[in-house]
Amino acid sequence: MTGLHNGRDVFEYALLKVVPRVERGEMINAGVVVYCRAQRFVEARTHLDEARLLALDPSADVDGVRAALGAVEGVCHGGEAAGQAAGDDAGRRFRWLIAPRSTIVQPGPVHTGLTADPSGEAERLLELLVR
């Protein structure tokens, strides 16, 4: 695929949302997961604004949310940190991470774009959509 788009590859990304009280539907963005098939790349970047989380739910389990976000990063890195997904390729790990779930940390819809630098794209999206 490289070269078809001026040296840029198609990538996909999804926001990671924290929904401390599912019944209220309120959420904050806390990360982004980026996948680029052509480069066999998957990475999560996270940033938890603790004050915003506690404004939505003063009793939120901040440590639990941080652990859940850290687990997403671990799945992206692969190896032992990925747990059951350790042997999966980048695409399968991304698809597993973006599957809908009703936990406090939830993936948003998948969006696409073009990039020459998926890691830089992850940082750009984190700054634009989360911080």
3-state secondary structure of 9: strand
Q: Which helix (H) or strand (E) holds 12?
A: strand 9-18
pLDDT at 1 over 50: no
The residue-averaged pLDDT of 37-42 equals: 94
According to the model, what pLDDT value does residue 103 have?
Answer: 83
What's the pLDDT band for 75 if we cut at 50, 70, 90?
A: confident
Chain segment 77-89, per-residue pLDDT in tens = 877 777 777 778 8
Q: How far apart are CA 1 and CA 40, in angstroms?
A: 12
- Residue that the structure tokens 């982004």 belong to: 32
d(CA 52, CA 113): 29
| Pairwise CA distance, residues 53 & 105, whole Å | 12
17-28 confidence digits (pLDDT tens): 999 988 888 999
Please give the Cα distance from 103 to 113 (Å, whole number): 27
Give Cβ neighbours of residue 58 (< 8 Å, ≥ 6 apart). none
Q: What is the mean pLDDT of the chain?
A: 90
